Amino acid sequence: MAAKKHAHLIVTQDIRPSQPTPSGMLKRFQAQREAGDYLDSFHLLSLNDSVARGALYFDAVWMTGLHGTHGFQVEIRHSHDFDEVLGFFSGNRDNYRELGGEIELWLEDEQYFITRSALVFIPKGMDHLPLYFRKLTSPVLFFTAGNGTSYTRATGHE
């Protein structure tokens, strides 16, 4: 059977293992783990221009358990040269509107606490985050997507 011409547009394999994690992020995660604060999570899938030419960037992670007493900082303050959407979806099928957790995030200098399934639109150039998982009582699907063709930062490099 001949290969289908659009098969490359269906992503079923994780591309992230080939993308290095910034050393600053690794050090921050390790310091939190040593203090007893960490997340159980697993990466699902990503999409970007390297997978399908012209594709927007998308990344999804299941957050399944939170350990420690201080929460876990996932991201630092930064901005992008493209619009971005952050998504937080409850994994509780019996109460999918309630997040089953508490997420702290910052939009510029304003602090927000997310406790319900939510989408957060971040306009191009807006400083946003840090992002902390403060409570987690059921799995949360966390995703980021942007109309850039790859994940890049204008500010906030680790």
pLDDT digits (tens, 9 = 90+) for 32-69: 999 999 999 999 999 988 888 899 999 999 999 999 99
Q: Quick one: pLDDT at residue 19?
A: 66
Q: Quick one: pLDDT at residue 13?
A: 83
Is the model's pLDDT at 158 over the cut of 90? no
d(CA 114, CA 106): 11
**Which domains are present in the chain?**
21-146 (2.60.120.10)
Q: In this structure, what DSSP letter does residue 10 have?
A: S
Q: Quick one: pLDDT at residue 56?
A: 94
pLDDT, the chain, mean: 93
Question: DSSP characters for 68-86?
Answer: SSS-EEEE-SBB-SS-EEE
Query: Quick one: CA torsion of 19, 145, 143, 25, rounded to 10 degrees?
Result: 40
pLDDT tens, residue by residue, 131-153:
999 999 999 999 999 999 888 88
pLDDT tens, residue by residue, 1-35:
678 988 888 888 887 666 677 889 999 999 999 99
Amino acid at 66: L
Is the model's pLDDT at 114 over the cut of 90? yes
User: E strands, the chain, where?
Assistant: 38-47, 57-67, 72-75, 84-90, 98-107, 110-116, 118-122, 128-136, 140-146
CB 63 within 8 A of CB 99: no
Angstrom CA distances, 79 to 46, 65, 114, stand at: 20, 28, 20
